[in-house]
Amino acid sequence: MVESVNYAPWFFIAGVVGLGAVATDSGLGSSVGQLMLAELDLSSGGIWRNYAVITAMSVVVGLITTIGALPAVMTPLAQSIAEATGWNVNSVLMAQVPAYLFYLLPYQVPPVILTISMAGLAMSPVVRFLALHFVLGMVIIVPLHFHWAAFLGYLP
């Protein structure tokens, strides 16, 4: 029988999930997305540049909120991004997908934090691993996803 339960990880997870909800409901994520959209010139970019910019926007929003909040923030911006790029909404949504895989910091994905806590892992090696995962994903997965989306006909 368990004599004591460590509630600290559960409170932390609740806080991280709450952070994503607050960022979404307060409009912070949407404001950041609109600000980035206003600053980035998507109309003059080529297909690859626009794809990379949309993916990067999604990654930045994921850093500010959480990966769980990413679809709630970026999906409403899809129509605005589609108008700026001249793409259809499905193409914009497809370009956002790789960002769901790339989390640079553990707080972005609550199950990772819970796993770190339950396994008793040190944060430093986990962050180094996630940084490597992030870089490799950007270098390998993003171009592969771009070509896959083009092959499927989602990109103009």
Q: Per-residue confidence at 134, pLDDT binned at 50, 70, 90? A: very high
| 47 or 43, greater pLDDT | 47
Distances (CA, A) of 155 to 45, 53, 121, 148, 151: 13, 14, 41, 9, 8
**Whole-angstrom Cα distance, residue 62 to residue 91?**
19
Q: What is the predicted pLDDT for the residue at 61?
A: 85
pLDDT winner (highest mean) among 33-42, 77-86, 107-116, 131-140:
131-140
Phi, psi of 65 (to 5 degrees): -105, -120
Q: What is the pLDDT of residues 51-72, one digit of tens each?
A: 999 999 889 888 887 887 788 7
**Rounded to 5 degrees, what are φ and ψ at 2?**
-80, 125
Q: How much is the pTM?
A: 0.79
Residue 27 predicted with pLDDT over 80: no
Domain ranges of the chain: 8-152
Give the rounded percent of residues in the chain with a pLDDT score beyond 70.
Answer: 92
Q: Which amino acid is at 139?
A: V
Paired tokens of 31? 């404001």
Average pLDDT of the chain?
Answer: 84
Tell me the longest C-alpha to C-alpha distance in the chain: 64
Residue that has been written with the tokens 């199950």 in this structure: 111
Q: How far is CA 56 from CA 21, 69, 100, in A?
A: 21, 16, 11
